[in-house]
Structure 1
Amino acid sequence: MLPSDMPRLSQGAVVLRAFEDRDVALVQSVADDPLIPLITTVPSSGTRDDALAYIARQHDRLTTGAGYSFAIADLATDRAVGSIGLWLRDVDEGRASTGYWVAPDFRRRGYVATALQALTSWALSLDGIDRVQLYVEPWNEGSWRAAESCAYQREGLLRSWQKIGDERKDMYMYSVLRPKH
């Protein structure tokens, strides 16, 4: 059985925690990012009300069974720098998926790789999840290098896999499997 409460996970200099209203500034800071609002539900408006609605949607993910949406925060300051989720659409098949983003001011500092390692270790410790997968655009070298540093293996290129904005995009598929005993 999957946890019904939002866990707080920490690893290295990162903590994964529930989004809080004080994270509004982070959400607002990525509203004009050229990619984040296209591939997530982050609002492009940048208004406080829309950012608060985004945070409320993140809490709803757990209550609806869609998954766990975490703020990635710096362990020392508890300041949110990004988001990572564990999505459960295919959990009946033993599969979960993940996705993440980090605000531009906090990129290239190891937050994604550390957050992904914490999330992956936790996910594979849960009964019923044998595989965690993620999709990365081929140009996004930072993202796929983070995945590879966490033992995710590239399984192939999915051509025209996902619509982003008005265009269909290719995606690399990565996965990590529960270790066999």
Structure 2
Amino acid sequence: MTRALSTPPVVSSEVISGSQQPVLSAARDLELRPWAAADAPVFLGAYQDEQIRRWHTRRPQSEAQVRQWFDDYRQDWQSATGAHWAIARSDGEVLGRISTRRWNFDDGIAGVGYWVLPAARDAGVATCAVMALSAWALDEIGFYRLYLDHSTRNHASCRVATKSGYLLEGTMRSAAVHDDGRHDMHLHARIRDA
């Protein structure tokens, strides 16, 4: 049964359908590129970092599982439900991860998530990646609203969100479970043309 909408979709899924996931250029000679099988060791190793483990409770256990995740990421793109990129230098060195998921074409809304490796922290890498992803999602694809959330205890992620133009909209009480229990989560959003 097809659902009837009183308004047309904000974004046409045709924008994504049948296309290759792009490589996005970011400031500071960075690029956002689809994950490759050769990235599996770096991706798995990232989840040994205390800060990434603290804020990301869904963790791969093996390189085989990472490669399965990469397959799932490709499927997200093909089914127009999300996109996942490695944040990398132009020489290919992986510095982090960024994604946009939970695409809602009817309302023009998508979520954003990211992490960066320890060596890339405090250098603006996450902010550059979020800015590049946001420009692509808002200006090229046509999403109207992008949102991200993070633990209220994750001050670094709050700074990245704010520097990237994502306004703090409020606190979602006990909205996520981390290793040390439930956390309140800050909700940030960026609106096209705002």
Fold shared, TM-score > 0.5 on shorter chain: yes
Amino acid at match of 1:142: A
Partner of 1:138: 152
Structure 2 residue 130 is the aligned partner of structure 1 residue 116: yes
Runs ≥4 residues deviating over 4 A: none
Task: Measure the CA separation in 1 of the matches of 2:125 and 2:47.
Answer: 20
Task: Measure the CA separation in 2 of the matches of 1:169 and 1:79.
Answer: 33
Partner of 2:37: 21
Structure 2 residue 56 is the aligned partner of structure 1 residue 39: yes
Structure 2 residue 112 is the aligned partner of structure 1 residue 92: no
Percent identity between matched residues is 28
Give TM-score, length-normalised by structure 1: 0.87
Gaps of 5+ in 2: 1-11
The number of residue pairs the alignment matches comes to 177
Partner of 1:52: 67
Partner of 1:78: helix, strand, or coil?
Answer: coil
The offset of 1:175, in angstroms, is: 0.5
Task: Measure the CA separation in 1 of the matches of 2:95 and 2:26.
Answer: 15
Partner of 2:22: helix, strand, or coil?
Answer: coil
Give TM-score, length-normalised by structure 2: 0.82
Partner of 1:156: 170
Task: Measure the CA separation in 2 of the matches of 1:74 and 1:164.
Answer: 30
Structure 2 residue 67 is the aligned partner of structure 1 residue 67: no
Partner of 1:58: helix, strand, or coil?
Answer: helix
Partner of 2:106: helix, strand, or coil?
Answer: helix
Gaps of 5+ in 1: none
The offset of 1:165, in angstroms, is: 4.1
Task: Measure the CA separation in 1 of the matches of 2:105 and 2:176.
Answer: 21
Partner of 1:168: 182
